[in-house]
Structure 1
Amino acid sequence: MAFLVALNRDRDSYQVPAALAETGNLGRFVTDYYHGKPGHFLPSLTHRRHPSIPARSVVTSKGAFLAQLPYEAARRVRPTDFPSDLVESALGRTAARVARREPDLDLLLYSGSARQAFEGPSRGRRVLFQYHPSPGFIEETLRDIDELADLRPWWEEAEVGNASMEAKHRAEVAAADHAICASDFTRRGLLLAGLAPDAVSVVPYGCPAPAASGAQGPGGVQQFLFVGQGVQRKGLHILIEAWKVARVGDATLTVVASRLDPQIEELAAGVPRLTIRGRAEDTELSALMDAADALVLPSLVEGFGLVLGEALAHGCRLIASTNTGLPSMGLPGDLGRVVEAGRVQPLVDALEAFHHSFDPERTHDHRARLEAQRLSWAGFRAGIRRAVGEETT
């Protein structure tokens, strides 16, 4: 049976539709922009394609594309929340039109843009890909586990208090025959929303192909790295507090934050051996990962954390919270250490343990890259096919 897949942008590097295209089971792919479609020629978006997905199978959503243009203009001058609800609703309308025209297609739709098609006249299976925890689960988690929640008035997540987004999520879950997600943390939210345990498959994201072995840090100084949004949900404030008290000698911490909560920036002011910088281009980020001993991702809420796989492929060790994809990656403890989300002391302990085991010769580098090979995107794609019953081994 062929599937209709819908997702915005090049989320997850198109791995979900590619998984089905590889075996001839991708019927239609709905997205906002796909390079190679007639009239799609923007030079800055030539990366929006996948070799396994022919342009003829793609249906583009003009509404989803246009809804993102104001955001793209605004984010260049000030921190701006992505208009997820608006964009995904437009994408969902397009997906629903395609499903009505081809009602025998099975549906494998990303959360946020699945409701219209799921509630339509399609005769196919309804599979939800929950790529990110739901608004209600985000709000509940942030309220319950962050020991620094009241330290400062942190930026509020756009999903928090958004009744319409939560209602859409509940409707998608109620209409789904099955759901797929990338982490056990996201699965917990789906179970709380009412899905039965045997109706949820966890398929951890893969890693890119390991890069060539990188250079050591300058002078053998240990380098820790954080990559992500500098907001409460990502746990950067927890990391800064832990860094203040962790006994890690002359080790350094570099924070690459695409946007930064002013309260977190103020919290970090004057902290020794801590550098905060903005967005990094791909080549620069690769160099930072090559030089880093460990990536730290202490997220309170995380669908998985694709940066974990990227850093592992560059030879980094990983420290990440229970609410990320690290618990599902199966790494040995000296390469991947899981810490309790929302707590400072466990992160202090992990930083100090990695400092004590630091080897300037980077003897862990080769093993980390071998683990990245094991956790490949090809394995993820096979996992997607197994989850929808298209592959049995």
Structure 2
Amino acid sequence: MALALHNENQLAGYWTGVPARPLTPRSWLQPLSRLLEKHSLLPLPDEAVRHNVVAPVVRRVAKLLPHAHTVDWMHRSMRWFDRWCANRVSSLNDVGAVICYENAALHTFRAAHRQDMATILDAASFHHAWQDRHYDYPESDAVHRRITEHKDAEIEQADYVLTVSELARQSYIDAGFDPVRVAAIPVGCDLERFSHSTEGAQEKHSHDPFTFIFAGHAGLRKGIDTLIEASRRLDQQGINHQIWVAGGEDPNIPWNQAPSLERLGRLTHEELAQRFQRADALVLPSRHDSFGMVVVEALATGCPAMVSEQTGAKQAISENESGWILPAEDTDAWVDRMTWCIHHRDDVASMAPKARRDAQPYSWERYRQRVTAHLTDLLMDSHVPS
């Protein structure tokens, strides 16, 4: 989004924790640069970028704590970053709007309103009420109550909300947010990397077992237990298959219940692209996934996708043409569809061209076009202050 705004000469500033520009050699923060850089540095002007790495450092340290405490301290760090931004809003001139990432917006929004700026919430997840209906939170009730009260307060201060899928948008509407003030702007992926990364990919052979691939953090939220049970049933029926599991994982996953699952661990983008090209179908039985970028990444390689109806990226799939959409926790439905795929391997393989076509609207270039056009229209609309 920052790049999109910069390319349209609409970016007044980009304030971030993760370094987006190289930290200066004299900066005491410079040694932390390698620790914090998860993404490529951005071609933004130095004067537009401000860093505060306290929040990401706290998040890194918090991951060493028990999970319930990790959540608490991660949210505390985001609130600290929010206050740091809010203290600097008053110095801005000729700025029409601020866009803040969720959980780090409340104080900045309040400061922006005092400056007569529009406030736009960049919401990567579902509305918290929707999440609570579908997912047990690990933190204590007291901490969870404090987090949700903070979320409610920042949503109340938002003039507009940007979500990443129609499914996520609906979660805000279901929670009572004005439909006129919430939009779905699907994110993108590097289609070039996934459609052309053939180096190291191996040719498929008809005598190989039908291979499904799961990509993402293996845990209850992504429905890994549903996949394990489905694989166990296929094994019991003597149906030859294998499932690759790519990504990190929650503790205490009962992997031994499904011998046909192979854990690959965390992969680079290039390694993941090669696995998608070698696999026959993606499986993602998420209980809630506001988008699920791996879906369009798999489609871009020609790998059909089987996803749950609680996955935002389901909107990229043409049913029975580039993939399938199934109930999130209906193991019977997953076993039936996986069995069909195994017995109709040629039909699944024939879906590759349609899968690649369905991925095309989800490039980062198309995202930048969508988001800048929408923000331009938004700030000219009477529903939102300008």
Note whether the superposition's TM-score is higher than 0.5.
Answer: yes
Q: Could you say what secondary structure the match of 2:365 adopts?
A: helix
- Which residue of 60, 84, 92 corresponds with 2:74? 84
| Unmatched 5+ stretches in structure 1 | 1-15, 144-155
Alpha-carbon separation, structure 2, partners of 1:212 and 1:204: 23
Alpha-carbon separation, structure 1, partners of 2:39 and 2:301: 24
Q: Which residue of 2 aligns with 1:185?
A: 167
AA in 1 matched with 2:80: A
Q: Give the aligned CA root-mean-square deviation in angstroms.
A: 3.0
AA in 2 matched with 1:216: E
- Which residue of 369, 374, 379 corresponds with 1:387? 374
Alpha-carbon separation, structure 2, partners of 1:306 and 1:361: 21
Q: Which residue of 2 aligns with 1:23?
A: 8
Alpha-carbon separation, structure 2, partners of 1:225 and 1:79: 30
- Which residue of 222, 230, 251 corresponds with 2:210? 222
Q: Which residue of 2 aligns with 1:133?
A: 126
- Which residue of 227, 231, 243 corresponds with 1:239? 227
**Contact 2:231–2:260 at 8 Å: present in 1 too?**
no
Q: Deviations over 1:218-254 (max 9, x none)?
A: 5443210112222211111111122222468322111
- Taking only the aligned residue pairs, the percentage that are identical comes to 22
> Does residue 55 in structure 1 map to residue 46 in structure 2?
yes
Alpha-carbon separation, structure 1, partners of 2:13 and 2:140: 29
Deviation at 1:270, TM superposition (A): 3.9
Alpha-carbon separation, structure 2, partners of 1:79 and 1:172: 23
Which has the larger displacement, 335-344 or 242-251? Answer: 242-251
Q: Which residue of 2 aligns with 1:350?
A: 337
Alpha-carbon separation, structure 2, partners of 1:372 and 1:81: 35
> Does residue 35 in structure 1 map to residue 21 in structure 2?
yes
Q: Deviations over 1:338-357 (max 9, x none)?
A: 11122212222321232233
Give the helix-richer structure, 1 or 2. Answer: 2
Q: Could you say what secondary structure the match of 1:388 adopts?
A: helix
Q: Could you say what secondary structure the match of 2:346 adopts?
A: coil
Aligned residues: 360
**Contact 2:197–2:270 at 8 Å: present in 1 too?**
no
Cα gap change, 1:331 to 1:104, in 2 (>3 Å):
farther
**Contact 2:282–2:304 at 8 Å: present in 1 too?**
yes
Q: Deviations over 1:259-312 (max 9, x none)?
A: 2230xx22x314242223432344433332221111111111112111112222
Q: Which residue of 1 aligns with 2:148?
A: 166
| Unmatched 5+ stretches in structure 2 | 381-386
- Which residue of 292, 299, 323 corresponds with 2:286? 299
Alpha-carbon separation, structure 1, partners of 2:321 and 2:69: 38
**Contact 1:225–1:296 at 8 Å: present in 2 too?**
yes
Alpha-carbon separation, structure 2, partners of 1:91 and 1:311: 35
Matches within 5 A, 1:112-151: 112-120=103-111, 121-142=114-135
Which has the larger displacement, 197-206 or 77-86? Answer: 77-86
Cα gap change, 1:231 to 1:80, in 2 (>3 Å):
farther
Q: Which residue of 2 aligns with 1:13?
A: none
Q: Which residue of 1 aligns with 2:352?
A: 365
